Chains A and B, each alone.
Chain A
């Protein structure tokens, strides 16, 4: 009996270790490759080398990665705060306020999730061409232009509405009796109660924004405005790519998202399963 249990445990751990190794290996390879020359990376060298500073020099000489990280931060942070505020307001409204025809509007919004972005890109670009004409600050080749289409997204509205279903409506009644305005109910009752949902939505939005590629690619023209994925993509554009340097650039830009994720992990998990304290 005891042996059987032990066997079970061994098998379980073996499985866990193998799975972990599979997930960990790409990161290990990334970190090791950062210290290797390009040719060693293509050879599949698995031990650390001595090329770290060379690679660092290449990255800083050939790209403006610091500036790109700055741009990405502005876009990701700005977009995250505004998008979760606007989308949560919408999701809250859909769930809490009885409005005629709201289900039709909601279905339309959800339906818009089915249209791939690639199909929207040309019309959207055209629209931004027009915007550039009278409000250049929001138009083509601006960071605001990168963020604007994402200020409210169907997914976030859906996410907030689903989570708001579990929000105890009695709290709103209590608030009303205590004399809170409708805005007050949202900011002082709903928002604090849904903290974990906000954290989860924030992480998802931040990461999507940080990794967003297609839209920034078409709308940004001046390299000074480039976000991180564009810089990395350009770095890999060579007929003879410098893999060591590319790996280093990727590592540098992974750090912020990894940090944010680990810091907010607790909330993220709670928010995803929709618990309310």
Chain B
């Protein structure tokens, strides 16, 4: 039964809980009240992926500590969407409390942050030599002629192929090396017919593969200004849609709906190729039983003048926020991600990360032959292809335009006229800007 006594006890216990955590937190807060961290040798980073970005930072911290033993790095791990959410909330409300010193931002989203919050990020050219990096990575973080990023992972793409299935259908790795998307479709039809295994898998809502095609041809969803949607006159995009429809209608495409099903498709041997970014490697090699059956060819190119057999999918860069301690943050990034060849060797060996740092490719870790991929020098190939990736202006609305195009693609697959759906998408994108 409730009576005055229980009510009082309840109230008192609630108060106790409150004061208890109040005290704990104010103690915490005392230490952390000046910007991200009160300590002059401590930096805070926001990033995602414990096995990749976080691990890379830990390796960087180890390297930096060799010369700066007092240095401390506090890594705060959230999902990528959460990092974006937190960063947007903090920056748009203008509250500096709790902001990190360093943050990872995916290249496709960087321009929207740099243009929405001018002055919130620190230019970093003075801390490292930008010429040592692939141009397209530097361009992703350049805003109004200043470089705000230190590039991290290259999203360099490759065509992961099952050589055993190719062989069964009478093809070799050579036959899928440096080919066009048209050739890719033709070989796919043949392989699917002869082996009964689908050629590739895709999610109709994820236009990553079309982004890959566009970058290989040096164009993007916006024009050079980064703002005007570039859809109706975009030959590369149009060709990409046609290739996609051909892949779908000829029955060589397996359709998945989410990431699990994507991984499942190749781990279960349901598809013969995976054209995607090099970050998929750990997921491919997770299936031990397929060791030796895979190889990686360069990504196909489009039948457009200037299109090359190298492209990019995803990848992020590192940015420094304009709060206390930003010099230390710049120095730390410059000394590790910006210039340390040994650091990049460890990255390649420990987490299969391919950086966009050119001198790193000379190192030993890049000359290793991978047993899983039939003895190919996987890292070396990726590093070479990275340097060939055409640079494009990602602009600030890649995903917004892509959401519109995902609907267009559905309409097109359902039989609508290509020019009409693209015209509609162009109008929608323009009115949405």
Contact = CB atoms under 8 A, between A and B. Distances in A.
Contacts of A81: 10-11, 13-14, 17
Given A137-B26, A191-B2, A129 B95 contact: yes
B3 A217 contact: no
B76 A137 contact: no
Given A42-B263, A122-B89, A221-B98, A137 B22 contact: yes
A240 B51 contact: yes
A52 interface: no
A221 B100 CA distance: 9
Contacts of B92: 122
Contacts of B33: 136
B420 interface: no
Contacts of B51: 238-240
Interface size class of A (residues with CB under 8 A): 35 or more
B78 A217 contact: yes
Interface in B41-89: 44, 48-52, 76-80, 82, 85-86, 89
Interface string B153-181: 00000000000000000000000000000
Nearest to B260: A42
Q: Which of B26, B28, B77, B283 has the largest number of chain A CB atoms within 10 A?
A: B77
A233 to B, nearest CB: 5
A111 B214 CA distance: 48
A126 interface: yes
Contacts of B85: 214, 217-218
Interface residues of B, number: 60
Given A74-B21, A240-B286, A192 B78 contact: no
B14 A85 contact: yes
Interface in B262-284: 263-264, 267-268, 279-280, 282-283
A224 interface: yes
A192 B50 contact: no
A126 B94 contact: yes
A144 B78 contact: no
A188 B93 contact: no
Interface in A223-243: 223-225, 230, 233-241, 243
Nearest to A198: B2
Interface string B1-13: 1111001001101
A213 to B, nearest CB: 9
Contacts of A236: 79
A241 B264 CA distance: 13
A11 B178 CA distance: 61
A32 to B, nearest CB: 15
B235 interface: no
Given A43-B268, A224-B28, A238-B52, A217 B90 contact: no
Given A74-B21, A139-B29, A222-B76, 16 more contacts: A39-B263, A39-B267, A42-B260, A42-B261, A43-B267, A62-B50, A78-B21, A85-B11, A125-B90, A137-B22, A140-B95, A140-B98, A144-B22, A235-B50, A237-B49, A240-B286
Interface of B: 1-4, 7, 10-11, 13-14, 17-18, 20-26, 28-30, 32-33, 44, 48-52, 76-80, 82, 85-86, 89-90, 92-98, 100, 259-261, 263-264, 267-268, 279-280, 282-283, 286-287
8 contacts: A39-B286, A42-B261, A125-B90, A125-B95, A129-B95, A191-B2, A222-B76, A230-B78
- Pick the 7 closest A-B CB pairs, nearest first: A129-B95, A237-B79, A192-B2, A142-B25, A221-B98, A81-B14, A137-B26
